[in-house]
């Protein structure tokens, strides 16, 4: 199976990767399901919504600061680094991710489409102000602040620049992801359930336009039925083996 996946990858001309929470599991990033689905007796589905933010921005910000604080110490794992290396080698053209944890960027991926935003970015609820707190070096100061965060330009509330339940995906990112999927002759699908639309269309588009689908997942998913190769394995282990074979093939 690894051999077949490595051959397809080495032969591809325009490969992309589509990743979900599973790729970050080895990095210890807590998913919404990872803390028994509860935070201080609240389900994340109740907190990660525009309605919750409107009703109680303090509570929602407390939840997000807690998540930022947990995720900031997570490090990319071998799967993130392997994808960055495949891009460096000219095989992989882009990574499309449903994760907000910034680990692909930290691993060195350059062409990155973040469909659900980024947990370290904030944006204004009224104007166009955006800030990447890691980039601006203000993350620690931001986490320590007790008052609600306000826009330095207009004074309105800032919110996390992530997609909440019930909100559409960012149009530009989605458009770019579909465009890449139409061009791709191979997609490496890693650690995603493949049941959340419209993101789940990405591997389907690749398949329908004649491309190959390689899936890496310890469990079967919504993608498995259309996968040409299914590597039933955790992401880090699979990517490490795959990289070794790809390098062997292209010498």
Is position 175 annotated as part of the catalytic site?
A: no
Of the residues 42, 80, 104, 116, only one is catalytic, namely 116
| Least distance CB 121 / Zn ion (angstroms) | 14
Q: Which are the contacts of 122, defined by CB distance < 8 A and separation ≥ 6?
A: 130, 131, 133, 142, 149, 158, 159, 160, 161
Instruction: Pick the closer one to Zn ion by CB: 101 or 161.
Output: 161
Q: How far is the CB of 153 from Zn ion (least distance, A)?
A: 4
Contact positions vs Zn ion (CB under 5 A): 124, 126-127, 129, 151, 153-154, 156
Q: Read off the DSSP letter of residue 11.
A: H
Residue-by-residue DSSP string for 43-109: -HHHHSSHHHHHH-HHHHHHHHHHHHHHHHT----HHHHHHHHHHHTTSEEEEEES--S-HHHHHT-
Handedness of CA 71, 74, 77, 81 (dihedral sign): positive
At its nearest, how many Å lie between Zn ion and the CB of residue 214? 43
Is 39 annotated as ligand-binding? yes
**Which residues define the annotated binding site?**
20-39, 64, 67, 98-101, 124, 127, 151, 154, 191-193, 217-219, 235
* Residue numbering of the annotated binding site for NAD(+): 20-39, 98-101, 191-193, 217-219, 235
Give the residue numbers annotated as catalytic, written as ranges. Answer: 116
Binding-site residue positions for substrate: 64, 67
């Amino acid at each position: 199976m690894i051999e077949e996946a490595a051959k397809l990858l080495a032969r591809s001309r325009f490969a992309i990767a589509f990743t979900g929470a599973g790729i970050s599991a080895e990095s210890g990033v807590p998913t919404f399901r990872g803390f028994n689905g509860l935070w201080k007796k609240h389900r994340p589905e109740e907190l990660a919504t525009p309605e919750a933010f409107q009703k109680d921005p303090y509570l929602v910000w407390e939840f997000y600061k807690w998540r930022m604080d947990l995720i900031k110490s997570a490090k990319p794992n071998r799967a993130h680094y392997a994808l960055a290396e495949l891009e460096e080698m000219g095989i992989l053209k882009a990574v499309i991710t449903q994760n907000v944890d910034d680990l692909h960027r930290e691993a060195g991926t350059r062409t990155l489409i973040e469909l659900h935003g980024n947990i370290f970015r904030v944006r204004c609820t009224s104007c166009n102000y955006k800030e990447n707190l890691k980039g601006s070096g203000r993350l620690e100061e931001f986490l320590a602040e007790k008052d609600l965060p306000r826009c330095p330009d207009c004074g309105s509330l800032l919110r996390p620049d992530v997609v909440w339940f019930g909100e559409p995906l960012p149009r530009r990112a989605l458009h770019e992801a579909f465009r890449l999927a139409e061009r791709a002759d191979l997609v490496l699908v890693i650690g995603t359930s493949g049941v959340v639309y419209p993101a789940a269309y990405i591997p389907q588009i690749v398949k329908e336009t004649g491309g190959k689908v390689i899936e890496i997942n310890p469990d079967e998913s919504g993608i498995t039925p259309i996968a040409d190769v299914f590597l039933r394995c955790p992401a880090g282990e699979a990517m490490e083996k795959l990289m070794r074979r790809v390098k062997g093939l292209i010498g």
